């Protein structure tokens, strides 16, 4: 069966901007629950300035402990520069993700570099990671709309994505940072990208600000994309992109895939256990658009089990 490969970015994108402090042990427990649900790839944390993102200050502990607990799990860590790479490597990380935005202003707000410098630093970081034998992903953020500069030119997104692959990144992740894309835009941009990038190296990362994330993912699926980022419970958002809401919820993407003849290897009831855990952690109701329906299915299953006992 045709397969969708989902990277759950909740431990990084989902937790990076939460108002409540989350203990390292709870971050690891969330990842354990994702693995129990069948998730095979996560973005575990980020090695960024703890002044910029205090919630990720325990990146080294998360990385080292995760390696011990889940040695088989594919897990990436976000790094913005060589210093981040050095810290990630020292902690034992085997895969990094660099974060390049497609506009001047978004790079300045996010990583305090202009577009040219951010591109050069991302290239240097990818090359250095390869030299250390690490796997690499490269985000191209604000790939549809930028909160500061408006519509992002398609040609620039394609060029930056291609540059990331040319310097050795194994996967490029096209990110709709503020959830501004719609299926028609996704279809057009995906076609343009696939003229220059093999589908096996292309991933999509949708935020759900306008409720379009699942529709956008489906448009990309129809164009041949099979790799997606998503976040359990739909949590997430870049702290430096005003208006960014949570990511596409993993449970919504899995339900979309499984009901459309694509396998994911992920169990929806297992994901629901992770959503419930995250909800307790963040002390607010969570869950993608399918969560209410999924909870009803779980209640029905429990009732019929009780009736049979």
**Which parts of this chain interact with Mg ion (CB under 5 A)?**
13
224 vs 87: CA distance, rounded Å = 36
User: How far lies 298's CA from each of 248, 287, 303, in Å?
Assistant: 22, 14, 9
| DSSP codes joined into one string, 79-95 | ESSHHHHHHHHHHT--E
Q: What would the two tokens of residue 181 be?
A: 């894309």
Cβ at position 48, least distance to ligand HMG in Å? 3
Nearer to ligand HMG, 46 or 152 (CB): 46
By the rule CB under 6 A, 193 interacts with ligand HMG: no
227 binds, options ligand HMG, Mg ion, none, Cβ within 5 to 8 A by partner type: none
93 vs 65: CA distance, rounded Å = 11
Site string for ligand HMG, 14-43 (x = CB under 6 A): --x---------------------------
Among 4, 240, 270, 275, binds ligand HMG (CB under 6 A): 240
Phi-psi category of 121—alpha, beta or left, where left has phi over 0 and alpha has psi -120 to 50?
Answer: alpha
Among 34, 62, 126, 141, binds ligand HMG (CB under 6 A): 141
139 binds, options ligand HMG, Mg ion, none, Cβ within 5 to 8 A by partner type: ligand HMG
**What pairs with residue 175 in β-bridges?**
205
Among 37, 42, 111, 186, binds ligand HMG (CB under 6 A): 111
H/E segment holding residue 8: strand 5-8
CB 212 within 8 A of CB 182: yes
Among 7, 41, 45, 46, binds ligand HMG (CB under 6 A): 46
Among 89, 163, 205, 226, binds ligand HMG (CB under 6 A): 205
Please, what's the largest Cα pairwise distance for the chain?
Answer: 65
By the rule CB under 6 A, 99 interacts with ligand HMG: yes
| DSSP codes joined into one string, 140-165 | EESSSEETTTEEPPHHHHHHHHHHHH
Compute the Cα dihedral for 129, 111, 54, 15 and give only its sign.
Answer: negative
Among 7, 81, 136, 216, binds ligand HMG (CB under 6 A): 81
Which residues 48-77 are close enough to bind ligand HMG by CB under 6 A? Answer: 48-49, 52-53
Stretch that binds ligand HMG, among 79-87, 145-153, 154-162, 208-216 (CB under 6 A): 79-87
By the rule CB under 6 A, 126 interacts with ligand HMG: no
| Choice among 219, 230, 238, 272 that is catalytic | 238
Cβ at position 92, least distance to ligand HMG in Å? 16
User: How far lies 294's CA from each of 236, 254, 297, 300, 301, in Å?
Assistant: 21, 12, 5, 10, 11
CB 275 within 8 A of CB 233: yes
Question: 238 an active-site residue?
Answer: yes
Task: Give every CB contact of residue 67 below 8 A, 6+ residues apart in sequence.
Answer: 92
By the rule CB under 6 A, 175 interacts with ligand HMG: yes
Nearer to ligand HMG, 180 or 266 (CB): 180
Site of interaction with ligand HMG (CB under 6 A) = 13, 16, 46-49, 52-53, 78, 80-81, 83-84, 87, 99, 110-112, 139, 141, 175, 177, 205, 207, 238-240
Which residues are tagged catalytic? Answer: 238
């Amino acid at each position: 069966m045709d397969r969708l490969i989902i990277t759950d970015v909740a431990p990084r994108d989902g937790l990076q901007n939460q108002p409540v402090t989350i203990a390292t042990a709870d971050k690891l427990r969330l990842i354990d629950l994702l693995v129990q649900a069948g998730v095979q790839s996560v973005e575990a944390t980020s090695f960024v300035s703890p002044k910029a993102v205090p919630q990720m200050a325990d990146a080294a502990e998360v990385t080292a402990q995760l390696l011990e607990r889940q040695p088989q799990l594919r897990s990436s860590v976000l790094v913005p520069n060589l210093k981040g790479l050095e810290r990630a490597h020292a902690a034992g990380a085997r895969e990094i993700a660099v974060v390049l935005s497609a506009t001047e202003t978004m790079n300045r707000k996010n990583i305090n570099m202009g577009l040219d410098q951010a591109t050069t630093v991302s290239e240097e970081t990818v090359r250095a990671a390869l030299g250390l034998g690490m796997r690499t992903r490269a985000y191209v953020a604000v790939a549809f709309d930028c909160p500061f500069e408006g519509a992002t030119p398609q040609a620039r997104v394609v060029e930056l994505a291609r540059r990331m692959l040319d310097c050795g990144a194994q996967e490029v992740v096209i990110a709709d940072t503020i959830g501004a894309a719609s299926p028609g835009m996704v279809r057009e941009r995906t076609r343009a990208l696939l003229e220059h990038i093999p589908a096996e190296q292309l991933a999509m990362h949708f935020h759900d600000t306008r409720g379009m994330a699942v529709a956008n993912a489906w448009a990309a699926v129809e164009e041949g994309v099979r790799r997606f980022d998503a976040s359990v419970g739909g949590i997430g958002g870049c702290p430096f992109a005003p208006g960014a809401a949570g990511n596409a919820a993993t449970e919504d993407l899995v339900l979309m895939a499984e009901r459309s003849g694509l396998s994911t290897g992920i169990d929806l009831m297992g994901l629901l256990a992770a959503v419930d855990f995250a909800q307790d952690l963040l002390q607010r109701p969570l869950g993608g658009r399918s969560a209410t329906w999924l909870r009803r299915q779980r209640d029905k299953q429990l009732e019929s089990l009780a009736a049979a006992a």
